[in-house]
Structure formats: C-alpha cells, structure tokens
Structure 1
C-alpha cells in the first residue's frame, strides 16, 4: 500500500494577489535616512516616496512604517528593521543582506530580484506578498507566518524555516537545499516544481504530511525512511 503522506493532495486555494496600492505619482527621495530626518522630522513614518540607489550599512530603522512606496536598487546591508510595518510597497533589485526584521510585518508587498542573504525574520509576518528571482539563502524565518504568499524562482538554501506557520502558500521553482523545515507543517503545499536536497525534518518527517511531490522527490524521502526503491 502506498504511503499516504506523499500522495498528491487536492489542489489548495491559490494565494491572493499582492496588488500593492501604490500611487502613480511619488516623491523622489534620495535617502531613507535623510527623508526620515528631514521630511518626517525624525518620525519613522514614510509614505508615497520612490527611493532609488540608496546605500547604507548598519543603520537603525527599527519601528519603521513604510507604505505605498517603491524602493529600487537600494542596499541596506546589516541594518535593523525590527518590528517594521511595511504595506503596499514594491521592492526591486534591493539588497538587505544580514539585516534584521524581527517581528516585522509585510502586507501587500512585492519583491523582485532582491537579496536577503543571512537576514533574520524571526517571528515576522508576510501577508499577501509576492517574491520573484530573489535569494533568502542562510536567512531565518523561524516562528514566522506566511499567508497568501507566492514565491517564484527564489533560493532558500540553508535557510531556517523552523516552526513556520503557512496558509495559502505557493512555491514554484524554489531551491530548498539544506533548508530546515523542522516542526513546520507543509500540509497543502505543492513542492513538485522545487529542488529539494538535504532538507532538515524531524525524525518522523511529519512536516511532509499532506504536501505534494513528484515521484523523484517522493523516492528520495522514501530512501530516508529506509525504503528500498526498485527500478
């Protein structure tokens, strides 16, 4: 009798589209830090701006409120975005490597060709978010929450997704190599188009119950369970 844990499940509901509400006319801002200091009088509440080419390292943006804006080609390596509230923002070609986003909240946001290598999203929440052509290698989303999230052509190698909660999540052509799904339920998630290698699971592999895989992926998991696969 086949192992029911790896049978193809019924198609789950697709994620809701991000559809960020961004005005056509935005104010050009050369620097996020300067905009907060000058235009906002030090109040970290930013809206209706387009920031392009900004570059800063190790800056403190904790409790930032960013909404209805665009960020393009910016670099914020090693910055502090803890408990930031980000809504209706489109990010393109931005680098947030080694930055922290602990307990941050992202709503109706898109990320295109962005880099989050080594970033820390401990207990962060993503709602109606779309990610494409990006990298979260060595990042941590431990104890976070994904709801209505679509991820396409993105690298999660060596990422920590421990105890991640998910609902209506779509992964398409995503690289999970050495990724930890420890105590993360993948029920309803289709992994058949993704690369899976050396993923971290609990001994019973209960994280995979209810997910969908192709035959090659399922065979690899079966071997980890000690099942001999015959040609």
Structure 2
C-alpha cells in the first residue's frame, strides 16, 4: 500500500496525510518531492529509495530501516524518529526543525550543509558520519556516539557534548569548530591531543 501511495502522490503531486503504515517494504523507488503530513511508520523498510526534495511534517518513524536512502534537500518538522536505522543515508542540505532522534543508528550518514534547529538527539550512534558545514541552533546531543564524525566548518559553540563520545572527530586545522563547545575533563584531554598539546 505504501509504495502505491507514494507513486500516486508523485504522479498527482498530492499530499499523503493522516496515514499509518506498518511492516511495509519499499525498494529502489525515486519518490522525489512528495509531501507527508501526520504520517506514522511502524517497522517499515525503505531500501535505496530517493526522497530528494521531500517534506516530512508531524511524522513518526518507529523501529524503521531507511539505510542507504537519499533525503537530500528535505524539510523535516515536528518529526520523531525512534529506534531506527539509517546508516549510509544522505541528508545533505536538508532542514530539520523540532526533530527528535532517539536510539537510532546514523553511522556513515551524510548531513553536510544541513540545518538543525531545536532538535534533540539522544542515545544515537552517528559514527564516522559527515556533519560538515552544518548550522546547529538550539540543538541538544545526549548520550550519543559521534566517534570519527567530520565536523569541518560546523560551529559547535554552545553544544554540551560532555556525555557523548567524541573520540577521533574531525575538524579544521585551526580548530575553530571547537570554540565554545562544552566537554568533560577526559574529553578535554583528548581534544588537547588533537591540537598537539602535551599534558604532563
């Protein structure tokens, strides 16, 4: 049902609203600029689908897998993503407002040039992801693993990463991204090594 509704929405340029989908599988579909509002996904799997230019408002993803999908140039608002897997997916140049990510896996995902406003990321694995040239406004990270993630030209000022894992993160040679970020004592020692500081 989900695949057919997506195809119809694309052809008719119509809105998908007030729907709930469970245990659906959609593979290798180019969905494009579809709009979804007040939609719930339970245990759905989206594989190698292209949602470039799509809009997700008041949407819930619960225990879904949308790894290796493309969500570039998207607009996400009031959306809740929990217990989901989106490894290797593309979210570049997308806008996220009032979005929560809880206990999700976004390893190797690409969020380059995306904008996150009033977002909350809790218990997520975002290892070796691309988060370069992002704008982070009023966003909270908690108990998340950001190991090896690329933050090149993304200002981390004001973020509290003290209960997150930030080992091996990548920043510019000038370390400007780290100005104003909040970390714990052990993290500070690791960042000092990154800057070439020797602690005796």
Normalising TM by the smaller chain, what interval? Answer: over 0.9
Write the distance in 2 (CA, Å) between the matches of 1:126 and 1:40.
22
- Residue 94 of structure 1 aligns to a residue whose secondary structure is coil
Instruction: Identify, as 1 or 2, the structure richer in strand.
Output: 1
Write the distance in 2 (CA, Å) between the matches of 1:183 and 1:40.
36
1:220 corresponds in structure 2 to 190
2:144 corresponds in structure 1 to 174
Structure 1, unaligned stretches of length 5 or more? 1-30
Stretch moving more, 52-61 or 125-134: 52-61
Of the three residues 198, 203, 213, the one matched with 2:173 is 203
- Residue 195 of structure 1 aligns to a residue whose secondary structure is coil
Between the two structures, name the one with larger relative contact order (CA 8 Å, sep ≥ 6): 1
Q: CA RMSD in A?
A: 1.5
Write the distance in 2 (CA, Å) between the matches of 1:224 and 1:148.
29
- Rg larger in structure: 1
Would the aligned equivalents of 1:80 and 1:100 in 2 still touch at CA under 8 Å?
A: yes
Write the distance in 2 (CA, Å) between the matches of 1:85 and 1:38.
16
Structure 2, unaligned stretches of length 5 or more? none
2:118 corresponds in structure 1 to 148
Q: Following superposition of structure 1 onto structure 2, how do residues 54-65 of structure 1 map, counting pairs within 5 Å?
A: 54-65=24-35
Would the aligned equivalents of 2:2 and 2:26 in 1 still touch at CA under 8 Å?
A: no
How far apart are residue 226 of structure 1 and its match?
2.2
Of the three residues 84, 92, 106, the one matched with 1:122 is 92
Would the aligned equivalents of 2:7 and 2:31 in 1 still touch at CA under 8 Å?
A: no
